[in-house]
Structures are given as structure tokens and as C-alpha cells.
Amino acid sequence: MIKFYLVLFFFGSFYCLNSQVVLDTIETERGKMILYSNRTWEYVKDSEFNGILNEHVYSLISSDPTLNYIQSWDNEVCYTSDRTNDLGKLKDTLWLCVNEDHDDGFHIPFHGNVTSRYGFRKGRYHNGIDIALKVGDTIRAAWSGKVRYAKFNEGGFGNLVIIRHYNGLESFYAHLDEHLCAPNQDVKAGDPIGLGGNTGHSFGAHLHFELRFYDAPMNPEEVIDFDNLRLKDQNLLVHKDLFRPGAKPSDFGEHGESTNALPTKPIVVRNTRKYYKVRSGDTLSEIATKNRTTISKICQLNGIRQSTSLQIGRNLRVD
């Protein structure tokens, strides 16, 4: 009974600083919990987590030593790359399935009117989507994943939640009134993660929502149809022109806007890669024959096996 009350006592603390002195360990249904002297906690498996939720994306990025991209697991910093990742260096196009089977689907973070979109605004970049709400409205996780950051952010975001997803993206939920999740917590799509608010550099209650790949912001409307509350496509082709000029994480001013210099016209690079959209009844053998390639090459290009089930509508790279 004493251990049960200890679990309740320490569960209210959201910040896991494992540099503190260990007071005790407790067995819970989820696993062994470590309790620290500053009233924080974490699970043993979380302390050993390396931050990789999508092995395929990680292997593609790390296989090119010239990129030198960083994406560590840190509950205390907003950008784990320390703003060093330059997505303008991407040489290839990466395919992401933004709605993996094990992700339990997609859920709109909040159903409200979009009041400001991604792009250049009032002399600065606006790196996300603003959605109108009332203080106390429930904000939900867009996809399943693991909470990396849940605390007050001094850089303008106010109360901020960052979730790393299995699809290779991270989502930001800013200006919250209250957190409903903790760092290292596993969440499913649609789980409540916070209450809408007006904290940080915000003038009026709203949700500032961002999507980022290796710390670099992209237009959320490349992926999400906010009017119809659904994904535009389960496939996302990631290339350097998907990101704004400079393609690096930025310093923030009011409303989460970048304080970087004015935009320059992006250089459009033609994509020479060839893709095939899977149709009903297709097999890898038939797809290989139609595109004059081999099964083994298709598997290598897409990080799949010959036994992988092909989802209708999925784009497979064939060249």
C-alpha cells in the first residue's frame, strides 16, 4: 500500500532529470519505475531509450555521413540538433508512410478554424498552423508516438508538448494552458495531451501546431487536410524543397515565428526518382515486371521484405 501511494505522489511530476539521486525503485504494470530525490521519475526502459522510433528513416539518414544530422532524445531542449541540421543538404527523396499500421491511425489535434497558416507572415516565417480555440479545450495527439518534451518553453511557445512519432516526424503543440502528458510517455493517436490556452508569446487563445522532420519545420498542410479533418495522403515524399529556404530550425519571436532573414526564392530541383502506386491485386513480382526492375531492388529501395503486405495506394520507389 505504501508503494501504491508513492506511485500516485510521484506520478504528478512531469520532468525526469536522471542526474538526481535515486531514492527507490517500484514495480508497476508498465515496468520498473525509478524515483529521484527531486520528486521526478522515469521508467528503466525510458532511461535506455535512444530516441529511434523509425529504424528505416534513421538508417537512410545515418547512411550518408555528409549529412551529419542529429536527432537525440532529450526531455529538456526544444531542438535536439541544437539547430545544426541543414535539410538543404538532402540529396535524395525519402518516402515516409505517415499512417503506419501500428500507429492506430491519425487524429486531428483540434477541430477549429485555421486563423494563420504556414509561411511568411508580418516580416517573419510562421512555422506552423494556428487553430482557434477556447482556453481549456482538449488537444489530442495527431499520431501515436512518445512524448519527448512537456514543459513551459521560454522561447515563446509557452506550455509546449512535442511528440516523436513512428512515422519519422515530430509534432509540436504550443501555447497550452495545461499539460496532460509527461516526458517519455507513450501516447496513441487521439489521446488527450493538453488543454488549449494562451501561454507564451500568444495574443489570444489558439493552438500553434507544427510538423518537423529532423528539427526542420514543414508546412503541416502538405500532410493534413484541416478542413476535412483527415490526411491528404498516407505517403509523404521528403526532399529538400519541402522545407523553407535555409531549412534549419530557427529562433522564435512572437507566435512561434522565425526571426531569420527574409526568404529567398527556392531552387526547384526535378525529382528523377520513379514511383509506382500500389493497386488492388498487385504483387511485387507484377510491379517489378511492369517497371522493368527486380523484386530485390524494390525491397532495397523501400526498406521492405518480399513478405511485406502491400497497402493499396502506397507509393513504392521502383527506380
Return d(Cα 69, Cα 147) in angstroms, integer. 21
Contact 118, 258 (CB under 8 A): no
Structural domains of the chain, ranges and CATH numbers in brackets: 2-47 (no CATH), 101-258 (2.70.70.10), 275-317 (3.10.350.10)
Answer whether 64's CB lies under 8 Å from 215's CB: no
pTM of the model: 0.68
CA distances (Å), origin 238, targets 31, 60, 244: 36, 12, 13
Condensed to tens digits (0 to 9), the pLDDT of residues 75-88 reads: 999 999 888 898 98
Question: Phi-psi bin for 136: left (phi > 0), alpha (psi -120 to 50), beta?
Answer: left
Q: Using an 8 Å Cβ cutoff, are 44 and 35 in contact?
A: no
SS3 assignment, position 272? coil
The amino acid sitting at 125 is Y
Q: What is the mean pLDDT of residues 9-32?
A: 54
Q: What whole-number percentage of the chain has pLDDT above 70? A: 75
DSSP 43: E
pLDDT at 50 over 50: yes
